[in-house]
Structures are given as structure tokens and as C-alpha cells.
Amino acid sequence: MAYQLYRNTTLGNSLQESLDELIQSQQITPQLALQVLLQFDKAINSALAQRVRNRVNFRGSLNTYRFCDNVWTFVLNDVEFREVTELIKVDKVKIVACDGKNTGSNTAE
């Protein structure tokens, strides 16, 4: 089971909204929508591991930290994300990180 972590992204939310519309119009069953989301989880985890090869650095101040159910949640303030190509500054960012050491059967976000 791949992490369902990536469902709350632009891509994941768009997919869920589209599936909800299809369910509303009775074109697919909720069971099928769930299967689609599970397939999405597999695909996105695989794509991130295999097809992405860039690196980012960031620096900021830590506002809060939380470690629960092997999931880290941070809130940082005044953060700068630095990539080779560009610099991104934000006042506040939330980082949600699941355990990356195993492929893990964690179904929670």
C-alpha cells in the first residue's frame, strides 16, 4: 500500500473532485472511485521516486512541530526555498512528512 499522502495536492484534489462529480452523476460507483484513488497513490509514489531528480534547500524559523503516528508536521515561518533555478519566499508553510525509510503500509495521510 502506497502512502495516501499525496491526495491533498493540486493534482490529487482535482482527481478527487472529478471522481466526486462522476459519482454524483452516477457514471461510476464509489467503489470504482476508491480504486482509482488507490491507483493514483501507487502511480504518484512511483513517479516521485523514479522520475524526479531535483533538490531543494530551505531555511526558516520553526513555529510548531508535531510527531504523531510516525508523521511529522511542522509549521515554519518566513521560509526561503532555494532551488537551482529560483528562490521562493513564503511567510508560513506547513510541512507534512511520512516516514520515508520503509515503503510502509501507512494509509493515513
Partner 1 sequence: MQSRAVDGFHSEEQQLLMQVQQQHQPQQQQHHHHHHHQQAQPQQTVPQQAQTQQVLIPASQQATAPQVIVPDSKLIQHMNASNMSAAATAATLALPAGVTPVQQILTNSGQLLQVVRAANGAQYIFQPQQSVVLQQQVIPQMQPGGVQAPVIQQVLAPLPGGISPQTGVIIQPQQILFTGNKTQVIPTTVAAPTPAQAQITAASQQQPQAQPTQQQAPLVLQVDGTGDTSSEEEEDEEEDYDDDEEEEKEKDGAEDGQVEEEPLNSEDDVSDEEGQELFDTENVVVCQYDKIHRSKNKWKFHLKDGIMNLNGRDYIFSKAIGDAEW
Contacting positions for partner 1 (CB under 8 A): 3, 5-6, 8-11, 45, 48-49, 52-65, 67, 72, 74-76, 79, 81, 83, 88, 90, 92-101, 109
CB of 91 to partner 1, least distance (A): 8
Shortest approach of partner 1 to residue 22 CB, angstroms?
A: 24
Contacts of 60 (CB under 8 A, 6+ apart): 76, 77, 78, 79, 80, 93
Least Å from the CB of residue 93 to partner 1: 4
Contact indicator for 39, 45 with CB cutoff of 8 Å: no
Cβ closer to partner 1: 31 or 57? Answer: 57
With beta carbons less than 8 A apart as the criterion, state whether 76 and 60 touch: yes
Identify whether the C-beta of residue 82 lies closer than 8 Å to the C-beta of residue 98. Answer: no
